[in-house]
Structure 1
Amino acid sequence: MSFLTRILPSFLVSWLLTFTLASLFHSQYVVNQLVNVGVVVGFNDRVNLTLEDWLGLLPTYGAIIAIALAIAFLVTWLIAKKVKKQGAQLFVIAGIVAFASALIAIESIMNITIIAGARGWGFYMQLLAGAVGGYVFAKLSNGCHSKNEII
């Protein structure tokens, strides 16, 4: 029952925050690249682009992030069972590894960076989104390693 009451809600909150940050970082990276070449982008345009990107990326990038985080958090939960008192740090690392793995795999398979906001310094902002997601998941789920826990 702990899965339905603690783990799943913690994962969903973590995923939603992580995806929202990743989408926000992507949008602002793209806007800043436009500004760097002289395009004038007003505040309203930034907000509209950010909202449109969030909705547009949700079915694809959102799903990729959900799968990557689910795999990373499951593996980390198994490791955290063995290494007590390291839960939050392990889940932060898991979030970073999940994003790095997903972005590198997508680029390797497709031979292109399909998430424009993951180019240059934007790649590190995507990793930051993963780190935040891992931290939030660890805190909300108490590291997923209480006694008698079955995931």
Structure 2
Amino acid sequence: MNVISLLGKKFTVFISAVLAAYLLASATATQHVANALVSMGIELGAGDRLAMTLKDLLGMATSLLPMIAMGLLIAFVVVALLMRWPLRGRLRWRLALYLLAGFTALIAIHVLMNLTLGLTPVAIARTPLGLVLQGLAGAMGGFVYARLGDALFPVSPFAIDP
């Protein structure tokens, strides 16, 4: 496998993970807002909820999507470096580390933006449960990254990531 092919596959795996995390993070944020509207007495059908979700997926692509991509990039690089640590049995921790990295990355995005800028990128992250749901979206990104990586790279020819 040449370097260009390897990097192309790694990039595809990473983008898939970012999109999985973004889709879940955006959809949960939208449904949180939809539930708030329903609690105010506004009637929303399944079609309305779907339309809101699709609009938010497009609308948050310029703000939330790049933040998720950067957060996951940093988190996954840290895990890749940890995986190079010479510990016996480290491969069995691979999935758990990527899940934790994705979870932590999305939580960190919201907490750091709130602490530094005084704002929360999405309303759902203002509640503890909402913040955990955003973290779970990141964990899904970690899951996708680990599983697709395992499928495409059972053994890395360049020892980039075990």
What's the TM-score, normalizing by structure 2? Answer: 0.85
Spell out the pairing of 1:57-96 with structure 2 (5 A cutoff): 57-82=60-85, 83-96=90-103
Q: Name the SS of the counterpart of 1:84 in structure 2.
A: helix
- Matched residue type, 2:110: L
Structure 2 unaligned regions, length at least 5: none
Give secondary structure in 1 for the equivalent of 2:144.
helix
Pairwise CA distance, 1:147: 5.7
Q: Distance in 2 between matches of 1:14 and 1:129?
A: 10
Looking at structure 2, the residues matched to 149 and 5 of structure 1 have their Cα atoms a distance apart, in angstroms, of 16
Considering only aligned residues, what root-mean-square deviation do their CA atoms show, in Å? 1.9
Q: CA contact under 8 A between 1:68 and 1:102: conserved in structure 2?
A: yes
Q: Which runs of 5+ in 1 are unaligned?
A: none
Bigger CA drift: 137-146 or 23-32? 137-146
The answer on whether the counterparts of 2:34 and 2:44 sit within 8 Å (CA) in structure 1 is yes
The Cα offsets for residues 27-65 of structure 1, whole Å up to 9 and x where unpaired, read as 001111111222211222111111110000001100000
Q: Percent identity?
A: 33
Instruction: Tell me, in whole angstroms, the C-alpha distance in 2 between the residues paired with 1:136 and 1:12.
Output: 10
Deviations 1:113-151 (A, max 9, x none): 231122222211111100111011011112977463237
Q: TM-score, normalised by structure 1?
A: 0.91
Task: State the 1:18 CA deviation.
Answer: 0.9
Partner of 1:149: 159
Query: Whole-Å Cα distance in 2 between the matches of residues 139 and 56 of structure 1?
Result: 29
Q: After superposition, give the CA deviation of every residue in 1:62-110 in whole Å (9 maximum; x if it has no partner).
A: 0000000000000111102223321110000000110111110111122
User: 98, 107, 117: which one pairs with 1:100?
Assistant: 107
Letter in 1 for 2:38: V
Matches within 5 A, 1:3-42: 3-42=6-45
Large movers: runs of 4+ above 4 Å: none
Q: What's the offset of the Cα at 1:3?
A: 4.0
